Amino acid sequence: MTSAALRAVGARTFRSLRIRNYRLFFIGQLISVTGTWMQTVAQSWLVLNLTGSGVDLGITVALQFLPMLLFGMWGGLLADRSDKRRLLVTMQVAGALLALVLFALVASDLVELWMVYVMAFLLGGVQMIDMPTRHAFVVELVGPDELPNAIGLNSAMFNAGRIIGPAAAGVTIATLGLAPAFLANAISYLAVIAALMGMRTDELHRGAPAERKRGEVRAGLRYVWGDPTLRLTLFLVAVLGLFGFNFIVVLPLLAKFTFAGGAGLYSLFTALMSVGSLTGALFAASRSAPSRRLLLGAGMAFGMLLMATAVAPTAWLTCVLLLLVGLAVMLFLATANTTLQLNSDPAMRGRVMALYGLLFLGSTPVGGPLLGWISEEWGPRVGLGLGGALSLAAAAAAASRIHIRRRARASGGAGADEATGVIVAA
């Protein structure tokens, strides 16, 4: 490829960064995500140090995502009704305060398992509002034409943080201990607050807020169920989120008990997955529209790669496979995210993305303890393999259903009216 062609690809891939408000958002989020992943690694290792139990680790993760499961749709409704920029500032302040409390507890050596449980649940309450608001805010930053690119870049930014954060956490924990990792996360929230406060509000692409009336959560659910594109995409997100995306539970167990490693190996696993995810995110950012073939193909590839990782005999082969797992994960998530946002009414977007978060993250309170228990009873390999098999089965079932609808459409039979509504492009 010539240098001119490379420059053209780069300009296409990073074009949303030309927008000032989005550029500020991107930089602030990159710093904050790095801090968040430092805390994620530190929290997992803290629980293992306190109890050594995979079930306790699964419970901690479940509590962090339980608010999303219970109240996620109300978080999305709040995003639809509110000034998203101001709401995001409030959530960053709350997240920083919680990280400071954890730092104080760990630094003073007063921390107990129940305290970690409480803090994880409270952080989940912040994420319940922050996640749908942040996703729905992206279209206000760049407008609908640049949304696919911005979502791809957001995914790339998130995974750059996943590369830097665990690596920084591994070094910090090994040299300074656990407490500074929580302090670093608290400080990182300041970057997002500064970015949000520095935006030019007259350049935001704001839509009309949702009406304040009864039954708006049920209206959001009916809206999603009535759209075959949204319904199928969220089905895949639900199954893969429930059974396949519990790496925060399985990877520390795989590092510690299968390969007899420490925090450094766990951080390496997480960082390598993030390298793969970063590659997948940049590829997604270079595309102009989401694709049905890419969504289903990435889902199937994810399931098969997870099953391969489950039987990998060495830590080094596991590292290689996790690179590919990360790539498949991000291709799937970026395509699903873009599909949902482009096919959502602006007044419903917060609730649609809340449902996305509920099914992707909110399923963790069920999948986390379940896979933690399976991994503890039969080993982390079984937990990984089961998640991969179920993810593959879901993607294959969705592909089969689409094929049946295509055949029905071709013959003019039943279901032909829905066949055109599945994903925005072939």
- Kindly give the confidence (pLDDT) of every residue in the chain, 426 residues in length, as a single tens digit, with 9 standing for 90 and above: 566 655 665 666 788 888 999 999 999 999 999 999 899 889 988 998 888 777 788 788 778 878 887 887 888 888 888 889 999 999 999 999 999 999 999 999 999 999 999 999 999 999 989 988 998 888 889 887 788 788 878 877 876 776 788 778 888 888 898 999 999 999 999 999 999 999 998 888 776 665 666 677 788 888 888 888 888 888 888 888 877 777 767 888 888 788 877 777 877 887 788 788 878 877 777 766 667 788 889 899 999 999 999 888 888 899 899 999 988 988 888 888 888 877 877 778 788 888 887 777 656 666 767 777 787 788 888 888 888 898 899 888 888 877 777 777 777 654 444 433 434 433
The Cα–Cα gap between 123 and 118 comes to: 9
The verdict on residue 6 lying in a domain is: no
The verdict on residue 206 lying in a domain is: no
The Cα–Cα gap between 210 and 214 comes to: 12
CB within 8 A of 104, min separation 6: which ones? none
Q: pLDDT tens digits for 279-321?
A: 887 777 776 666 778 888 989 999 999 999 988 888 889 989 9
What DSSP character marks residue 19?
S
pLDDT at res. 5: 58
The verdict on residue 302 lying in a domain is: yes
Q: H or E element: which one contains 237?
A: helix 228-243
- 160 lies in which domain range? 17-199+216-421
The verdict on residue 309 lying in a domain is: yes
Q: pLDDT tens digits for 85-129?
A: 999 999 999 999 999 999 999 999 999 999 999 999 999 999 989
The verdict on residue 134 lying in a domain is: yes
Q: At 413, is the secondary structure helix, strand, or coil? A: coil
91's tokens: 């959530």
The verdict on residue 11 lying in a domain is: no
27's tokens: 């930089």
pLDDT at res. 160: 77
pLDDT at res. 418: 40
The verdict on residue 193 lying in a domain is: yes
Closest CA relative to residue 388, chosen from 230, 234, 250, 232: 250
Q: Are 426 and 293 in contact (CB under 8 A)?
A: yes
Q: Could you tell me the CATH number of the domain that includes residue 104?
A: 1.20.1250.20
Closest CA relative to residue 270, chosen from 28, 34, 27, 30: 34
The verdict on residue 142 lying in a domain is: yes
Q: Are 237 and 359 in contact (CB under 8 A)?
A: yes
How many Å is the Cα radius of gyration of the chain?
21
Overall number of domains in the chain: 1
